[in-house]
Chain A
Amino acid sequence: MFEFISELSRWAIPVILLVVPLVAVLRGVKVYETFVEGAEAGFATAVKTIPYLVAMMVAISIFRASGAMEVLVASLSPLLGFVGLPAEVLPHAIMRPLSGGAALGIASDIVKTYGPDSFLGRLVSTMQGSCDTTFYVLTLYFGSVGIRKYRYSVLLGLVADFTTLVASVFIVSTLF
């Protein structure tokens, strides 16, 4: 199963790159001109995200560097301990929605310290694999089209992240 999926991932993009232009040609599309026409908006889309990402990443960076993150971890530990989350993976749980790179750093550190096949190693691996960097994705995607009012999406993203945490703890302690 794993072999199959990993082969599929390896082939996915080359196959798309082969099939899409071929089908387009067969349907009478001018492939080069159409590609360029579509690609034109790429620069503007990327540049438009700059102010949004700057705003969010400055805030996250200050929050982390100042030590405020540790305060948050300490104050949230009773709540997360209540759902059975070990204290060692707390920083990861809190960092995961905020910063992808930092969360990956914490995850590698836990895997290295406790061993990849320990309970903590497996738990943090599952948490790392099953979440996404919610704030980054929200900022990037909304920023690219100029959305400023996020309505309930931040709350929704955090609820989903929290659910993943609880589910990870439950599944890893059941299976291993």
Chain B
Amino acid sequence: MVNFVWLAMVVFGIVVAGINGNIEVVTKAAFDGANNAVKISISLIAIITFWLGIMKLAEEAGLVRALAWLVRPVMRFLFPSVPREHPAMGAIVMNLSANILGLGNAATPMGLIAMRELQTLNHSKDTASDSMCTFLALNTSCVTLIPTTIIGIRLLYGSSDPTDIVGPTIIATAFSMLVAILVDRLLRLFYSGKRR
């Protein structure tokens, strides 16, 4: 599906630009996009390096395993193919906790660490495993307690109560997380049947 989405965006974009008579924007947009991508990756180096160091410390100190143990029942249900003592469990929990607290720049490196651990359990290295799909679905639909950025914007434009959207946000994400888990289970069944 990612092949289709990618191709559709490029082809459709170029065709529309041609019809609109502004084909020249395509070249600029392509280079701008590439440039942005590299900038993001480079700026990630610092924060990923830093968190990988901290995570290694936490792992050696036994903290990651302790954290994973705390939420084991939930995690065993969500990730049945990950062994109980595996570092992936701890990393996933760290990532989801960072997401819940709205710590965007801490959540990303934790997520990358979790992916690295899940990749060690993956049998075909270029294909997403079931656990990876579940993890990403949880990650993108995860409950956020404090949507910091948008609260800032509401404050900027003179809201009488900038945080009154926190309740609705929590309810909306909780609902979508629930649906994500259900749909994940269904798709997993369907795709594992198809792959064999």
Contact string, A123-139, partner B, CB cutoff 8 A, digits 1/0?
00110111111110110
Interchain nearest-CB distance for B14 vs A (Å): 7
B interface, by DSSP: helix, strand, loop or mixed? helix
B168-190 with Cβ < 8 A to chain A:
168-169, 171-173, 175-177, 179-180, 183-184, 187-188, 190
Interchain nearest-CB distance for A7 vs B (Å): 10
- Any chain A CB within 8 A of the CB of B77? no
The contact of B180 among A54, A147, A163, by CB within 8 Å, is A163
A133 to B141: give the CA distance in the assembly, Å: 10
Kindly name the residue among A17, A58, A148 whose own CB sees the greatest number of chain B CB atoms within 10 A: A58
Contact B168 A35 (CB under 8 A): no
- Any chain B CB within 8 A of the CB of A107? yes
Q: Which residues of A contact B116 (CB under 8 A)?
A: 41, 45, 144-145
Complex interface: stretch among B32-40, B68-76, B78-86: B32-40
Contact B191 A61 (CB under 8 A): no
Contact B166 A117 (CB under 8 A): no
- Any chain B CB within 8 A of the CB of A140? yes
Given known contacts A65-B28, A126-B172, A20 and B165 CB-to-CB distance under 8 angstroms: no
A67 to B159: give the CA distance in the assembly, Å: 33
Interchain nearest-CB distance for A151 vs B (Å): 5
Contact A116 B159 (CB under 8 A): yes
The contact of B137 among A37, A39, A160, A167, by CB within 8 Å, is A160
- Any chain B CB within 8 A of the CB of A83? no
Contact A164 B159 (CB under 8 A): no
Interface residue tally of chain B, by bracket? 35 or more
The contact of A65 among B26, B132, B173, B183, by CB within 8 Å, is B26
Interchain nearest-CB distance for A55 vs B (Å): 7
Given known contacts A45-B112, A130-B176, A164-B173, A122 and B9 CB-to-CB distance under 8 angstroms: no
Q: Which residues of A contact B54 (CB under 8 A)?
A: 16-17, 20, 35, 38
Q: Which residues of B contact A161 (CB under 8 A)?
A: 140-141, 176
Contact A68 B13 (CB under 8 A): yes
**B residues lining the A interface (CB < 8 Å):** 1-2, 5-6, 9-10, 12-17, 20, 22, 25-26, 28-30, 32-34, 36-38, 40-42, 44-45, 48-50, 52-63, 98, 101-103, 106, 108, 111-112, 115-116, 118-119, 125-128, 132-133, 136-137, 139-142, 144-151, 153-154, 156-169, 171-173, 175-177, 179-180, 183-184, 187-188, 190-191
Q: What are 22 pairs between A and B in contact, CB < 8 Å?
A: A34-B56, A38-B54, A38-B55, A38-B56, A45-B48, A47-B41, A57-B34, A59-B13, A61-B32, A62-B30, A63-B13, A65-B28, A66-B17, A66-B29, A115-B158, A133-B140, A144-B115, A146-B119, A156-B184, A157-B137, A167-B172, A175-B167
**A residues lining the B interface (CB < 8 Å):** 2, 5-6, 8-9, 12-13, 16-17, 19-21, 23-24, 26-27, 29, 31, 34-43, 45-47, 49-50, 53-68, 71, 104, 107-108, 111-112, 115-117, 121-122, 125-126, 128-135, 137-138, 140-142, 144-157, 159-161, 163-164, 167-168, 171-172, 175
10 closest A-B pairs by beta carbon, nearest first, are: A38-B56, A42-B49, A129-B147, A61-B33, A116-B159, A39-B53, A66-B17, A65-B29, A53-B37, A24-B61
